[in-house]
Amino acid sequence: MGSASLRLTLGTLVAVAFIVGDALCAVVEGTTSRGKSETQQSKYTPVALPTAYRFVLQPPGESQEKQGLVWLDNWKVMFVGVVSGKANSKGLYIWDVATMAVSKYSSHTHFCFADDYIIAQEIPVGQGQSNLRSIRFGRLGEETDDTCGRTRQNSCPGVMNMSCKPRAFFGPAPFGKEAVYAIELRNGNGVIVNPVALSRAMDLSQSVEAQRAHFSRPYLLVSKRFPEGKSLPITAVEELSLWSTSYSAYAKRYVFLTERPTDGQVGLITTWPSGRAEPIYLMDIDGNIDKVLVPSRPDWNKIHLAQVVVPGIVFLGSGGHANEWGGLFLYAKPDLIALNRGKAAAMAVSPDGCKVAYAIFDDFGKTPRDIARIKFIDFCVGRARQNGQH
């Protein structure tokens, strides 16, 4: 592992190295091993949420903490759901995976949760800001209930950062005439700046090669420590995706995916080129990045979301009818393991890195009524319990 990898906080990585074991080190680019060319079947057993409950898909475009499925701690999962056959049951539910009990938290239909802070709101279908909304916000267990809307002095929650707080950075960034603020991280960690607005790619009457050269400038991390911006090993050609961005409380890393490889066509969003490894970028708060190269397999077309877990990297692979729509996979170098095949819709990892919860359509396209079920997998079953938290 290179020096950039060692800077994962050699306070944090030494600590994490024993918790993560060899998993994080083993998947980082630069290590060598002879992997198997086929995706292996899983030895892990998914545990399903009681069948009366199903997941409600959230609108695309937001980072992981706003996608309707999170871990509140190492044992409790919160999700947006409904109870089959029960009218007016849509709301936020908490699933205790230790007892298998499910309880309703509130009737809100959208939420964001990070750092033990929650903000939830109910957005009536077909109604805008002119109508009052029910909101709940605050540290978990100390929340405040209120209403918001144009008829009240307090406006409803707008665009939030990855700490579920109002964004401080919008629009053009002072790093060149084409720079824009792209992804605002958690409080105090800064913001990612795209040096070239991709929406202007079509304005360039140039060849694909010339456009690629124009967009080859790196993304920047701008923070109190780096007010002038620190260059990241990710270019504007690749294009970071907010929808595929998450934070790993376990590894203390931001996890990024890109829309295309460095030699891709600017502005074109499609599947990842067949036969080519797809990168997952792990960034600490100082902008040090490790790149994990996930080998290509026919089991998925593109990685949508990824997280660090005890055995390695778990990710959602999107696909189509030919490859059973993708599913949930584990990369524990050199092995690629199919944990659950189907059309995966959301994913979250517990703070201890032991468990992954996910929503998946097991029979997508095979039944008249597609239902997303929530399941979880415990990677630490049978292992020594760490600090009594698992």
What b/e readout covers 51-64, taking b as 16+ CB neighbours within 10 angstroms? eebbbbebeeebbb
Tell me, yes or no, whether 389 lies in a domain.
Answer: no
Tell me, yes or no, whether 387 lies in a domain.
Answer: no
Q: Mean pLDDT for each 10-residue chunk of the chain (390 residues)?
A: 34 37 54 60 93 90 96 97 91 96 96 97 66 90 88 76 94 89 96 80 67 89 96 94 96 97 85 93 97 94 96 93 85 94 94 97 69 94 52
Tell me, yes or no, whether 320 lies in a domain.
Answer: yes
Task: Return the amino acid letter for 335.
Answer: D
The dihedral built from the CA positions of residue 183, 9, 377 and 339, taken in this order, carries a sign that is positive
What b/e readout covers 67-82, taking b as 16+ CB neighbours within 10 angstroms? bbbbbbebbbbbbbbb
Structure-token match 């694909």, residue found: 208
Tell me, yes or no, whether 147 lies in a domain.
Answer: yes
| Distance in angstroms (rounded) separating the CA atoms of residues 380 and 113 | 24
What pTM was estimated for this model as a whole? 0.87
Tell me, yes or no, whether 384 lies in a domain.
Answer: no
> What's the confidence (pLDDT) of residue 267?
77
Provide the residue range defining the domain that includes 358: 3-378
> What's the confidence (pLDDT) of residue 190?
97
Tell me, yes or no, whether 390 lies in a domain.
Answer: no
> What's the confidence (pLDDT) of residue 59?
87
Task: Return the amino acid letter for 80.
Answer: V
Number of domains the chain is built from? 1
CA separation (Å) from 179 to 137, 212, 231, 255, 365?
33, 16, 13, 22, 42
> What's the confidence (pLDDT) of residue 142?
96
Tell me, yes or no, whether 30 lies in a domain.
Answer: yes
Tell me, yes or no, whether 386 lies in a domain.
Answer: no
Residue of 64, 67, 59, 117 lying closest to 246 (CA atoms) = 64
Q: How far is CA 342 from the centre of its chain?
A: 18
